[in-house]
Chain A
Amino acid sequence: MNKRRLMVICLMLVVVWLSGCATTQTVQKPYRISPQGTVIWDDEFEFAPPPLGWKLLIPEEGGDINIGFMRMDRGPFPSSTTFAYDEEPFGFSTQFEGREIEFFKRFLFNAILQFQILERKKVQVIGGEGLAVTVEGKDPVKKEKVRAKVIFGKRGERVIGFYITQWRPLDGTYDLSAFEDFDKFFNSFKFLKKSFYETL
């Protein structure tokens, strides 16, 4: 009996010890909050965080984006919005016009969408020239649609991108307040140091 009780205690100790190990393990966050309330990301980027309701997307190693946020919107599937900063947007041209064509060949290519350009204009991106393209894509088979805004800018010699995609059922209504949150994120964005490519 004593032997059995001792074994239970030993097992409990092991469990406690293991759980103790789990709690002492720290996960290094890639960001910190500045005294001004902005996000400092990897000591490389600074931006204003979006309002509550946006969930941070932690990028995978070698993934498509560097920083992203997502929120589930009201309404039936696929009502959701995602926006991101991407250091390596699809394509390779260093001129915006060429990059726009290359980018949209692959943007949301898993969905078979018929894109229509809603607006295309020159903008200022982090103190330099840029190009903003707003599109709407429709999938009549799945009965889904997406409104997206893509902003191309430059970091050194390379083109970088900001984009937002908002999915809705085909008869759904877009929530343009999400695009305002994206614009605030984009307008607050700063580079705190030279990129890897600029240091080569």
Chain B
Amino acid sequence: MEGHQRNLYLYERFNARVLGVSRDDVTTLKYWAKGLGLTFPLLSNVTGFLGVYFHTQPDGKPIFGRRTVIIDKNGIIRYVRDGSPEFKDILLFLKKLNQEGGKP
């Protein structure tokens, strides 16, 4: 998350916005964001339907798996990677997408 915060100015340059999604409740996320100094939105999805939608909900576990998803301006998922975010990979992809005119 700190890496995303560090790259916000570049996301802005590539017409992209970042959102975090977690199963934690709003109060927990508020404290967490404050502790890390995050200024981008974090979505609380306690019921976990977004995890089911994005296939990041492991069976029988009350957490989401780590997944980075880039959605273009038409709502089409263009990039999916599991695990810790590969920031350079993400930035190159966003740059390419922005040049294509398919703003994320």
What's the tally of chain A residues with a CB closer than 8 Å to chain B? 12
Rounded to whole angstroms, the CA-CA distance of A200 and B97 in the bound complex is 13
Asked if A88 lies at the interface with its beta carbon under 8 angstroms from chain B, I say: yes
Q: Is A92 within 8 A of B6, CB to CB?
A: yes
B69 partner residues in chain A, CB cutoff 8 A: none
Asked if A73 lies at the interface with its beta carbon under 8 angstroms from chain B, I say: no
Q: Report which residue of B37, B88, B92, B95 has the largest number of chain A beta carbons within 10 angstroms of its beta carbon.
A: B37
Rounded to whole angstroms, the CA-CA distance of A43 and B88 in the bound complex is 19
Asked if B2 lies at the interface with its beta carbon under 8 angstroms from chain A, I say: yes
Asked if B74 lies at the interface with its beta carbon under 8 angstroms from chain A, I say: no
A119 partner residues in chain B, CB cutoff 8 A: none
- Given the known A-B contacts A92-B37, A102-B37, A197-B10, are A62 and B84 also in contact in the complex, defined by CB atoms under 8 Å? yes
A92: contacting residue among B5, B88, B92, CB under 8 A: B5
- Chain B interface residue count: which class? 10 to 19
Instruction: Name A197's closest neighbour in chain B (CB-CB).
Output: B10
B54 partner residues in chain A, CB cutoff 8 A: none
B91: contacting residue among A90, A94, A200, CB under 8 A: A200
- Given the known A-B contacts A92-B37, A102-B37, are A196 and B6 also in contact in the complex, defined by CB atoms under 8 Å? no
Q: Is B95 within 8 A of A200, CB to CB?
A: yes
Classify the secondary structure of B's interface with A.
helix
Asked if A169 lies at the interface with its beta carbon under 8 angstroms from chain B, I say: no
Asked if B9 lies at the interface with its beta carbon under 8 angstroms from chain A, I say: yes
Asked if A60 lies at the interface with its beta carbon under 8 angstroms from chain B, I say: no
Q: Is B2 within 8 A of A90, CB to CB?
A: yes
User: What 1/0 mask marks residues of chain A from 152 to 196 whose CB sits below 8 Å from any chain B CB?
Assistant: 000001100000000000000000000000000000000000001
Q: Is B37 within 8 A of A157, CB to CB?
A: no
A91 partner residues in chain B, CB cutoff 8 A: 2, 6, 37
Q: Is A92 within 8 A of B95, CB to CB?
A: no
Rounded to whole angstroms, the CA-CA distance of A158 and B88 in the bound complex is 14
A92 partner residues in chain B, CB cutoff 8 A: 2, 5-6, 8, 37
Which residues 1-16 of B sit at the A interface, judged by CB distance below 8 A? 2-3, 5-6, 8-10, 13
Instruction: Name B91's closest neighbour in chain A (CB-CB).
Output: A200
How distant is B38 from chain A, measured CB to nearest CB, in Å? Answer: 9
Q: Is A157 within 8 A of B9, CB to CB?
A: yes
Using A91-B37, A196-B88 as known contacts, list a sample of 6 further A-B pairs with CB atoms less than 8 Å apart, ordered by residue number in A. A92-B2, A92-B6, A92-B37, A200-B10, A200-B13, A200-B95
> What would 8 A/B residue contacts be, using CB atoms closer than 8 Å?
A90-B2, A92-B5, A157-B9, A158-B6, A196-B88, A197-B10, A197-B91, A200-B95
Chain B positions near chain A (C-beta within 8 angstroms)? 2-3, 5-6, 8-10, 13, 37, 84, 88, 91-92, 95
**In the complex, the 8 A-B pairs of residues with the closest C-beta atoms, listed nearest first:** A92-B6, A92-B5, A196-B88, A200-B95, A92-B2, A200-B91, A200-B10, A102-B37
